[in-house]
Structure 1
Amino acid sequence: MKKLNLKVAVIVGLLMTGTFVNCTKTKEKTTNTVAETIEISTTNLEEKTAVESRSPIVFITGYDKGDNKFYSSARTFFKEKQYQIVEDAYSLEEVINWMNKNVTENPYGEVHIVSHSNPWKGMSLETVINGERITAETLQRDSENQLIPQLKDGITENTKIVFHSCGLGKNTKLMQKLKKSFSAKEAPQVVASPYYNVFGGEFSNHYLAKPYYVFYPTANSPGKTDLSKEIARKYPNEREIEWFAALTNERERYIGEPYTFQFNVPITWEFDYHNSDNEIPTFETEEALMDWIANDEDLAKELNNLDIPVEKFRWRWNVKNSKLTVKGKSTVLCVLKPLTKPYGDLQHIKPDTNNKRLYAMK
Structure 2
Amino acid sequence: MEITDIDGVFCNGVKEGKLGLGIVRCRGNVAGVFTRNRLKAAPVLVCRENIDDGHIEGIIVNSGNANAYTGEQGLRDAREMCRIAASLFGCSDADVAVASTGVIGRPLDMEWIRSKAPEIYARIGKSGKHAENFARSIVTTDRFVKKAHSDVGLISAVAKGAGMIAPNMATMLCFIFTSASFDSGELYEMLKKAVDRSFNRLTVDGDTSTNDTVLIVSTGKEKVDRDVFEGELWKVCYSLAKQIAMDGEGATKTFDVVVSGAASDDEANAIARAIASSLLVKTAIFGCDPNWGRIIAAAGYSSADVDERITLSLKSGDREVLLVDDGRPTGNEEEARNLLKTSNSFVIEMKLEKGRGKGFAIGCDLSYDYVKLNSEYTT
TM-score where L is the length of structure 2: 0.24
The structure that is helix-richer by fraction is 2
The structure that is strand-richer by fraction is 2
TM-score where L is the length of structure 1: 0.25
